[in-house]
Chain A
Amino acid sequence: GQNIDQPTEMTATEGAIVQINCTYQTSGFNGLFWYQQHAGEAPTFLSYNVLDGLEEKGRFSSFLSRSKGYSYLLLKELQMKDSASYLCAVTDSNYQLIWGAGTKLIIKP
């Protein structure tokens, strides 16, 4: 079956760095997305990786290793507004988007 695993919840301190991991087992691979979702709101796009390596975008970076079925989202200089759920999603060989359950990130002062 298809499966995406990410931690349920993480806690970090304002100003620090946090890494949210995502491992996947899917039938084929056509890209991995990270989305941010604040409570009661729709998800917003953060990043897209289809090739191995690190993609940096401001305070957020996303890494992909296709051979390991692994990705991480790195958030630097954490701010209170970064408290949200972070969703990992993979596009499989049929171009279906498979969603992880999300990681709730709690930022403490």
Chain B
Amino acid sequence: GAVVSQHPSWVICKSGTSVKIECRSLDFQATTMFWYRQFPKQSLMLMATSNEGSKATYEQGVEKDKFLINHASLTLSTLTVTSAHPEDSSFYICSARDAASGDTGELFFGEGSRLTVL
């Protein structure tokens, strides 16, 4: 099946620093990628939809200046958590849909990135 690679898997950073998380579709092209945040014992919360070559669409309540998303190519989207604070500590997951499968195709998830802000 299709593979989505997410890096890094774990990151610990100091408060006030910025952290970049990469999401790559390894064997397919993804015009759209999705970024989720998941707190312990809770379901996935969609943060934003990343569109190749255009601005990301953010969900209500998600600060676009804090969570910068770049989708510069059909196989790579990045999420940068700027000026991270302890409350940003969470499990961040990306997913992608094969552009060839349209809008209803299966989502393929990255392995997730666990961010801990000290």
Contact = CB atoms under 8 A, between A and B. Distances in A.
A16 B6 CA distance: 36
Name, among B43, B46, B108, B111, the residue most crowded by chain A CB atoms within 10 Å (CB to CB): B43
B111 A30 contact: no
Given A42-B6, A50-B104, 7 more contacts: A40-B91, A42-B109, A42-B110, A91-B103, A95-B104, A99-B44, A101-B43
B27 interface: no
Interface of A: 30-31, 33, 40-45, 48, 50, 87, 91, 95, 97, 99-102
A31 B101 CA distance: 13
A95 B103 contact: yes
A95 B43 CA distance: 19
Contacts of B6: 42
Contacts, number: 42
Contact of A101 (B1, B42, B93, B107): B42
Given A42-B111, A42-B112, A102 B43 contact: yes
A41 B91 CA distance: 9
B46 A99 contact: yes
B104 A30 contact: yes
Given A42-B93, A43-B44, A97 B109 contact: no
Interface in B34-83: 34, 42-44, 46
Contacts of A41: 111-112
A106 B110 CA distance: 25
25 contacts: A30-B104, A33-B106, A33-B107, A40-B112, A41-B111, A41-B112, A42-B6, A42-B109, A42-B110, A42-B112, A43-B44, A43-B93, A43-B109, A45-B1, A45-B106, A45-B108, A48-B106, A87-B43, A87-B44, A91-B104, A97-B46, A99-B44, A99-B46, A101-B42, A101-B43
